[in-house]
Amino acid sequence: MFGLGVFNCDKSVPAIVEVAKEHTIDAADIAILENLNRHRIKTLAKKHRLTQAEIRAGKRRGCVICAEDYEIGIIDSYGDWAEYQYDLRGQKVYFRPLSGFYPKSINKARRFKLLTKEAAKKD
């Protein structure tokens, strides 16, 4: 549960990166993308028994490749289904559920609500 991890962390960029590392993240803001991908590339190199350079070049091993087998992309070019959107405002976390392909799903999304522990447990 990503929301619960974010709710319980100290809301600093390094803390959020640590929470994100425990989940399959498809896309992220450019501010945290480099840190996330540094970890992802190391993990993929071990998993696929390849060098980090080979991973960066797009090489993978296996007959089944999953979302977590790719580097994390920039959120601006994300165009897949997104379940939640989070907005970190200082020490407060706001969220809203999304339904449909991002970013079009933002157009019909509800307003952000303060993330409570109860709501974080449901995501």
- Cis-peptide into 103, omega within 30 deg: yes
pLDDT tens, residue by residue, 62-102: 888 888 899 999 988 888 888 888 888 888 889 999 998 88
3-state DSSP assignment of residue 25: coil
| Domain locations along the chain | 2-122
pLDDT tens, residue by residue, 95-116: 999 998 888 999 999 999 999 8
Total-model pTM = 0.70
Tokens of 93: 């976390």
* Dist CA 43 CA 20 (whole Å): 14
The answer to whether the CB of 118 falls within 8 A of the CB of 94 is no
pLDDT tens, residue by residue, 7-32: 899 988 889 888 888 888 888 888 88
End-to-end CA distance of the chain: 6
Q: Residue 76's closest CA among 112, 32, 28?
A: 28
Amino acid present at 53: A
Tokens of 94: 């706001």
Contacts within 8 Å (CB) and 24+ apart, 86-89:
86/2, 86/3, 86/6, 86/115, 87/112, 88/6, 88/11, 88/16
